[in-house]
Amino acid sequence: MATNPFFTTFAQIFSMTGKDIKRAKELLESGQLVAIPTETVYGLAGNALNEVAVAQIFKVKNRPSFDPLIIHTSSFERIHDYAVSNAVAEKLAEECMPGPLTLLLPKKPIISDLVTAGSNRVAIRIPRHPLCNELLHSLAFPVAAPSANPFGYISPTRAQHVEDQLGDKIPYILDGGPCEVGLESTIVGFENGLTTVYRKGGVPVETIREIVGDVQVKSHSTSNPSAPGMLKSHYAPRVPVKLGMDIKLLDKYPAEKIGTIRFTTPLDGIPEKNQLILSKSGDYAEAARNLFAGMRALDKLDLEIILAELLPDQDLGLAINDRLRRAAAE
């Protein structure tokens, strides 16, 4: 049967996922939420200058209001409208923006306390995903966007991931394909003149160090996320995750109920379909790209336990290990 153009159009208008930037723009301008692609993970976006939209983000995500949101804009010039910059920030921005870097800077009054959860610093990022950037460029306001997953679960790296979990709660998902980086942005701020990494992410710590010199890393694992709010248990699938390849656990569960997350090679004796191999060639960027989608796929299998192997602590291995540790945290 030939496709009926009426129904094609009808389907496009009412489909909740697509590449329609104009529709995304109109929804955001009217105060509604749209899931947006970025090179790190998909975000749940709303007008950052509209408190009703911002409140709606917390509600849809089921996110506690003490956990602040990152705002997204299209150029470094625009950052100056929302925050107070400094020389080191400018240097980092020059090298890493647009890209998977978030800067934590003193906020200007235009940014509400709702966005920053009462903090006087605002987190700002300029994504480098072309579709996202085109959208942000067309808007007169920045968008606040946490990762587009229910609070505490694995971040989405495909439009389908968002649709699976938030599909009935938001009007539109802008589909930008699979995320190129696959891990959230690296969050960098400044404390007593020292450049501080608060969340390991898509820009390796080594790169930050090369650009600015001295860097302290403060990845929180507290259950009281003052600022920045980084909870110990996060990125967690439903199936319990255990770090290391504990032989006792291998005996405790039948092989078909065990899943693994490994860097380059599978574990003997476990069915292949239960094993997430992050990168056969040992490539960190590929591993990062595969991590969240792979964890979601494992979580759909009927497993009782997932054994995760930590990667070497270098490059994006640091950020991947951070996510694995949080996924395994009680």
Task: Give me the residues that bind ligand TXA (CB under 6 A), please.
Answer: 38, 40-41, 43, 67-70, 102, 104, 116, 119, 121-123, 125, 145-147, 184-185, 187, 225, 227-230
Residue closer to ligand TXA by CB (options 104, 239) is 104
Return the closest-CA partner of residue 148 out of 50, 231, 66, 57: 57
- The one of Mg ion, ligand TXA, none whose footprint includes residue 307, by CB under 5 to 8 A per kind, is none
Residue closer to ligand TXA by CB (options 236, 307) is 236
Residue closer to Mg ion by CB (options 43, 204) is 43
**Closest distance between ligand TXA and the C-beta of residue 213, in Å?**
23
**Closest distance between Mg ion and the C-beta of residue 106, in Å?**
23
- The one of Mg ion, ligand TXA, none whose footprint includes residue 229, by CB under 5 to 8 A per kind, is ligand TXA
- Asked if residues 13 and 159 have their Cβ atoms less than 8 Å apart, the reply is no
DSSP state string for 29-65: HTT--EEE--SSS-EEEEETT-HHHHHHHHHHHT--T
Is there binding between residue 102 and Mg ion (CB under 5 A)?
A: no
Could you give the CA distance from residue 80 to residue 86 in angstroms, rounded to a whole number? 10
Residue closer to Mg ion by CB (options 38, 47) is 38
Taken in order 89, 228, 203, 192, the sign of the CA dihedral is positive
Could you give the CA distance from residue 54 to residue 105 in angstroms, rounded to a whole number? 19
From candidates 56, 102, 147, 321, binder to Mg ion by CB under 5 A: 147
Taken in order 101, 106, 110, 116, the sign of the CA dihedral is positive
Residue closer to ligand TXA by CB (options 228, 237) is 228
Could you give the CA distance from residue 103 to residue 125 in angstroms, rounded to a whole number? 6
**Closest distance between Mg ion and the C-beta of residue 41, in Å?**
7
For the record, the structure tokens of 321 come out as 């290990």
Q: Which residues bind Mg ion (CB under 5 A)?
A: 147
